Amino acid sequence: MSERPSIDQLTADLREHAYLADRGLATVLSLSLQLEKPLLVEGEAGVGKTELAKVLAQVLDARLIRLQCYEGIDVAHALYDWSYTRQLLYIRALETGAVADPSRTLHDLFGREFLERRPLLDAIECPDPVAPVLLIDEIDRADDEFEAFLLELLSDFQVTIPEIGTVRAASRPRVVLTSNRTRDLHDALKRRCLYHWIGHPGMEREIAIVRARVPGVPERLAVQAAAFVASLRELDLAKVPGVAETIDWIQALVALGESELEGGVVDATLGSVLKHHEDIELVRDGNLSRLVAQAREA
């Protein structure tokens, strides 16, 4: 498909890959592709932020390059590093005279043949005919210094390697940044991106997502499970379940051969939809029977 699809076409293409984007998300994603600007997607965990980049790569028939951020991530992990093993072997070859080319010296230690490309440099120098989709996942987990480092990349799609010089992208990668908003990102980073917030879907939309992601799910089970999860989100939980947890739970129920919710099965499978012991106990202590009964009436 075109790398600059219309909103309707993009919505349809995403749907073909079982990703149901609302009009707002499809609009900002289409603009991101047309303007060649990074897209920053924020939202609670499990609402489909990472999945958006994965599906976009499938839609564009492009390579997905993923950089998973974490506290302490630096240039050596994100951009490039030097292969010290190859450099050491090269030094030994020079010392023993095993290097065939007499013009080679120690100054060549920091040539490109000793460079190990990490995800960011891999995206910039990608030789594919279709520009890759670069996923910078959970940028809020990285520190301020790394966030500042990204500014040059997101502005000009170029990076500077002191030993080599400035490396520029021949074609701009499609960049999707995700954040769970564990901390606020700097305005300088946000200015370089288009922005969209993905919230928890309404019940009807969640049922549609479940149908798309779990083919063959019994209709009654899909409706009841979506209603049950919607009720869970109204409780004072440490971690509210996202769509990803809904899908995991329904897949577990289908694997058990269930066609509708039953109290005993729900109790036994709560660990598929709730990930904190305190949350599971809260639901079990006085809420489980009521929530199951409400869901069965949906």
From CA 213, how far away is CA 207, in angstroms rounded?
10
The C-alpha angle with vertex 126 and arms to 122 and 129, in degrees rounded to 5, equals 160
Say how far apart CA 295 and CA 181 lie, in whole Å. Answer: 31
What is the mean predicted confidence (pLDDT) over 137-147? 94
- The phi-psi region of residue 125 (left if phi > 0; otherwise alpha if psi is between -120 and 50; otherwise beta) is alpha
Using the predicted structure, report yes or no on whether residue 269 has a pLDDT greater than 70.
yes
% of the chain at pLDDT higher than 70: 93
The alpha carbon torsion through 242, 248, 250, 255 (nearest 10 deg) reads -170
**pLDDT for the residue 201:** 93
Q: Which pLDDT belongs to residue 88?
A: 85
> Whole-number mean pLDDT of the chain?
90
Above 90 in pLDDT, residue 84?
A: no
| Strand 133-137 relative to strand 64-68, pairing | parallel
Q: Using an 8 Å Cβ cutoff, are 19 and 51 in contact?
A: yes
pLDDT given at position 100: 55
| DSSP H or E segment with residue 119 | helix 119-124
pLDDT at residue 75 in the model: 85
**pLDDT per residue as tens digits for the range 180-232:** 999 999 999 999 999 999 999 999 999 999 999 999 999 999 999 999 999 99
Model confidence at 4, pLDDT cuts 50, 70, 90, reads: low
Which pLDDT band holds residue 91 (cuts at 50, 70, 90)?
confident
User: Measured between alpha carbons, how far is 265 from 257 in angstroms, rounded to an integer?
Assistant: 11
**pLDDT, position 109:** 67
Neighbours of 89 (CB within 10 A): 12
Place of tokens 């000009």: 156
- For 48-80, what is each residue's pLDDT tens digit? 999 999 999 999 999 999 999 999 998 889 998
pLDDT confidence of residue 158:
87
- Half-sphere exposure in the Cβ direction for 38 (13 Å, CA): 24
Number of residues that make up the chain: 298
| CATH, range 7-79+118-198 | 3.40.50.300
Per-residue pLDDT, 97: 66
Q: How confident is the model at residue 95 (pLDDT cuts 50, 70, 90)?
A: low
Is residue 196 within 8 A of residue 21, CB to CB? The reply is no
Local structure of 22: helix, strand or coil: coil
Where residue 40 falls among pLDDT bands split at 50, 70, 90?
very high
Output the six-digit token pair for 137: 């996942």
pLDDT given at position 170: 84
